[in-house]
A and B are shown apart, each in its own frame.
Chain A
Amino acid sequence: SQQGEEDPQALSIQEGENATMNCSYKTSINNLQWYRQNSGRGLVHLILIRSNEREKHSGRLRVTLDTSKKSSSLLITASRAADTASYFCATDGKGAQKLVFGQGTRLTINP
């Protein structure tokens, strides 16, 4: 299975601090994507990083990818209360378009 796993499962920090979430997967990938899901809502696409990329930035988000370790990290800098949500990584394999999601990290930003 290509299942991704997020670490930690839950993270609680103070507003203004940085939040780091990690994701590991098992097989070769084409792309790795990060999504945010607010409670009871749909998924919002945050960022896509391709297998030949090592780092990508988007606003307060920084994503890294280490294909040798089959892992990725999502860093949210200067966190805000509105960042409170679950964050999922999802991978798609070579020759397959389906996304394989991890269990997610529940991030809570305390004001």
Chain B
Amino acid sequence: NAGVMQNPRHLVRRRGQEARLRCSPMKGHSHVYWYRQLPEEGLKFMVYLQKENIIDESGMPKERFSAEFPKEGPSILRIQQVVRGDSAAYFCASSLYTDTQYFGPGTRLTVL
């Protein structure tokens, strides 16, 4: 059973470009979570989704950030018009129910 998969693992963007981060949950998991980690810090919750629904987006910045988890395909975290402050590691997690969350390897976004 493959774990949570994220791609790309590393992403470099120039200021103003768009970044798309993908997450495929563990097989059978319908709960997906996105977190952001700045250097030397813990993870900060961004958004919680189930298939086709955003359940909790209380950690998402109001502008430029969006997330989706379509009926088919991976969950996508989209950042429009990236700025240097968006540089971070973005982690996706999935769970079968609402208990143990299993994390992917992360996408490290660098904004030049």
Contacts and interface: CB of A to CB of B under 8 A. Distances in A.
B43 A33 contact: no
B73 interface: no
A50 B59 CA distance: 24
A84 to B, nearest CB: 16
A48 B99 CA distance: 8
Interface stretch (B62-70, B76-84, B101-109): B101-109
Nearest to B31: A97
A10 to B, nearest CB: 11
B100 interface: yes
Contacts of B43: 43, 88, 90, 99, 101
A40 B95 CA distance: 23
B26 to A, nearest CB: 12
Interface residues on B, range: 20 to 34
A40 B44 CA distance: 16
Interface residues of A, number: 23
B101 A42 contact: no
Interface string A20-48: 00000000000101010000111111001
A85 interface: no
B42 A103 contact: yes
Given A98-B48, A99-B93, 14 more contacts: A35-B103, A41-B105, A41-B106, A43-B103, A44-B103, A45-B102, A48-B99, A48-B100, A92-B98, A96-B56, A97-B33, A97-B48, A98-B58, A102-B42
23 contacts: A31-B99, A33-B101, A42-B91, A42-B104, A42-B106, A43-B43, A43-B91, A43-B93, A45-B103, A48-B99, A90-B43, A97-B56, A97-B98, A98-B45, A98-B58, A99-B43, A99-B93, A100-B45, A101-B35, A101-B42, A101-B44, A102-B42, A104-B41
Interface of A: 4, 31, 33, 35, 40-45, 48, 88, 90, 92, 96-104
